[in-house]
């Protein structure tokens, strides 16, 4: 792929990794209507004969009944070209990339921030209310580096003077 550096730059700017799913949302106008589409995709990179190849794999939201990509912006029956989708994800300003929050598997290791400055490695347990609370506030990270990059955000979150949710509004 000739312009792989552009894909690499996009991945870095959006803190994405190859083969890791992420959400894309995009918005366009059709006949004066605001249309929104959402799906989960991942960008994969393979090397063959010393050359890099990048493609998009849909996980949810972009296939029709015949397992083809669909492009709702034009005609529901037209399949969406994977190269066009990759182009749209990287270059189209109407496409928003949303990283899927990391939730460790039960028994899986993760990093979290404690005391507002210390990063520890822990084992996640779905039966542990504290582990679940760490996930819910975004204090679960795949790597120490990812935790370090989010240290200030977690500090700010912990300095809040009110709860994240109002239990009176929860049914």
> Hey, what are 26's tokens?
């995009």
Domain span holding position 134: 109-160
What 3 state SS string does 46-114 have? Answer: EEECCEEEEEEEEEECCECCCCCEECCCCCCCCECCHHHHHHHHHHCCCEEEEECCCCCCCCCEEEEEE
Q: Is there a domain that residue 9 lies in? A: yes
Considering its fold, how many domains does the chain have in total?
Answer: 2
Looking at the structure, tell me whether residues 87 and 144 fall in a common domain. no
Q: In what side-by-side order are the strands of the sheet with 22-30?
A: 51-60, 33-48, 22-30, 95-99
46 lies in the same domain as 116:
no
In a domain, 104, yes or no: no
pLDDT tens, the chain, 171 aa long: 567 888 888 888 888 888 888 888 876 655 555 556 677 777 888 787 888 778 777 666 655 444 444 544 444 444 456 677 788 888 888 788 888 888 999 999 999 999 878 999 999 999 999 999 999 999 999 999 999 999 999 998 888 888 888 888 877
């Amino acid at each position: 792929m000739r312009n792989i550096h552009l894909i690499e730059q996009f991945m870095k700017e959006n803190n994405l990794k190859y083969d890791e799913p992420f959400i894309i949302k995009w918005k366009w106008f059709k006949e004066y209507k605001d249309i929104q589409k959402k799906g989960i995709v991942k960008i994969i990179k393979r090397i063959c004969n010393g050359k890099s190849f990048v493609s998009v794999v849909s996980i949810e939201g972009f296939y029709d009944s015949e397992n083809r990509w669909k492009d709702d912006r034009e005609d529901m029956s037209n399949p969406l070209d994977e190269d066009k989708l990759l182009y749209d994800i990287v270059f189209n300003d109407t496409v928003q990339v949303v990283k899927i929050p990391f939730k460790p598997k039960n028994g899986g290791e993760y990093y979290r921030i404690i005391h507002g400055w210390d990063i520890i490695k822990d084992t996640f347990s779905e039966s542990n209310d504290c582990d679940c609370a760490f996930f819910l506030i975004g204090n679960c990270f795949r790597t120490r580096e990812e935790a370090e990059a989010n240290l200030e955000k977690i500090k700010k979150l912990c300095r809040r003077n009110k709860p994240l949710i109002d239990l009176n509004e929860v049914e």
